[in-house]
């Protein structure tokens, strides 16, 4: 059984949490980051109050989303056991994303209560399943996910349009600089910001341009490069798999095994066995 409260450390831009509460409530309070709370499990009757949104009553069912903007006072009461998962998204990062997509003068994260977002729900469910491996310890993943969630939070300002206009792809020269930087720093805990700096783009704009060129986000690209490095070490050395994980840039052997199996369809140990 999961602990009643599990929260990852906020790594500059994002934190993930799981809460299991008995019948009760919370008094008025606020958060320094934007909060996205998603109900999981059995329905529960909820009364919610926010300074800007007033009072709301709803039966929260699996997948329902409550958004509490940063620094907005809110409180609530629930009439039965309530399980939820969610995120704290850095307000400064969200503001930077808003500026990148041309919304700096009008952007505002809005209170919402009871809607659904299948993409955010799916990501949160995956993080809950992988909680023990602390996937947000990977700065590249945490920052990429924070950018994605920032766009979701800003959708109310965008008339339903998630990414306006076309996105130019990285030039061949820029792509070569990125490839070289990633290859030279693969064992480090890279961030989108560090990679974007090599081509003098903002992290959010870089991620869009990178995907336009490669068809994948920076996190997926770097993960594939790390798995390729792990394959090379598995075939060329007899290093323990734990050591290979660290030399390939994974936070732990467990993290390596999860990503390795997802990409290759087998475990590192079985991969090495097939080579012998």
pLDDT of residue 104 exceeding 80: no
pTM, to two decimals: 0.85
Residue 2 has pLDDT above 70, yes or no: no
- Domain boundaries 166-276, corresponding CATH code: 1.10.10.60
Q: What is the residue extent of each domain of the chain?
A: 5-157, 166-276
Structure-token pair, residue 219: 């996190």
Query: Angle 39-42-45 (CA atoms, 0-180°, nearest 5)?
Result: 75
What does the pLDDT look like over 224-271, one tens digit per residue? 999 999 999 999 999 999 999 999 999 889 889 999 999 999 999 999
How many Å apart are CA 60 and CA 45, to the nearest integer? 6
Burial of 137 (0-12, 13-18, 19+ CB in 10 A): middle
159 pLDDT band, cuts 50/70/90, is: very low
Percent of the chain at pLDDT > 70 equals: 90
What's the CA dihedral at 208, 212, 217, 218 to 10 degrees? Answer: -80
pLDDT score for 113: 87
Query: In 3D, which of 263, 184, 188 has the Cα closest to residue 220?
Result: 263
Alpha-carbon Rg for the chain in angstroms: 21
Instruction: Tell me the C-alpha distance between 85 and 272, whole Å.
Output: 37
Tens digit of pLDDT for each residue in 73-84?
999 999 999 999
One fold for 5-157 and 166-276: no
pLDDT of residue 22: 92
Cβ-in-10-Å burial (0-12, 13-18, 19+) of 52 comes to exposed
**Quick one: pLDDT at residue 197?**
96
Over residues 205-209, the mean pLDDT reads: 93
Residue range 107-139, pLDDT digits in tens: 678 888 888 888 899 999 998 888 877 777 888
99 closest CA partner among 151, 62, 138, 47: 151
> Cα–Cα distances in Å, from 170 out to 88, 209, 213, 219, 273?
31, 5, 6, 16, 39
Task: Tell me the per-residue pLDDT of 172-204, one tens digit each, with 9 for 90 and over.
Answer: 999 999 999 999 999 999 999 999 999 999 999
The CATH number, out of the four listed (3.30.160.100, 2.60.120.10, 2.30.42.10, 3.40.50.300), of the domain defined by the range 5-157? 2.60.120.10
**Structure tokens of 172?**
């061949």
């Amino acid at each position: 059984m999961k602990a009643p409260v599990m929260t990852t450390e906020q790594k500059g831009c994002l934190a993930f949490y799981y809460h299991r509460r008995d019948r009760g409530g919370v008094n008025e309070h606020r958060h320094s980051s934007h909060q996205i709370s998603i109900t999981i499990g059995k329905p529960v009757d909820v009364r919610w109050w926010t300074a800007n949104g007033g009072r709301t009553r709803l039966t929260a069912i699996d997948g329902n989303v409550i958004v509490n903007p940063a620094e907005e006072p809110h409180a609530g009461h629930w009439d039965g056991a309530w399980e939820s998962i969610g995120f704290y998204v850095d307000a400064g990062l969200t503001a930077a994303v808003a500026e990148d997509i041309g919304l700096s003068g009008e952007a505002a994260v809005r209170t919402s209560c009871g809607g659904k977002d299948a993409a955010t729900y799916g990501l949160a469910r995956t993080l809950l399943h992988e909680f023990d491996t602390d996937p947000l310890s990977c700065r590249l993943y945490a920052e990429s996910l924070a950018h994605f969630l920032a766009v979701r939070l800003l959708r109310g300002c965008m008339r339903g349009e998630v990414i306006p206009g076309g996105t130019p792809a990285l030039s061949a020269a820029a792509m070569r600089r990125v490839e070289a930087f990633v290859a030279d720093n693969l064992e480090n805990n890279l961030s989108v910001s560090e990679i974007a700096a090599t081509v003098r783009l903002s992290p959010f704009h870089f991620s869009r341009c990178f995907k336009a060129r490669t068809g994948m986000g920076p996190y997926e690209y770097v993960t594939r490069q790390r798995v390729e490095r792990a394959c090379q070490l598995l075939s060329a050395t007899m290093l323990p798999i734990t050591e290979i994980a660290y030399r390939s840039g994974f936070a732990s052997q467990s993290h390596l095994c999860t990503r390795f199996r997802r990409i290759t369809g087998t475990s590192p140990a079985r991969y090495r066995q097939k080579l012998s």
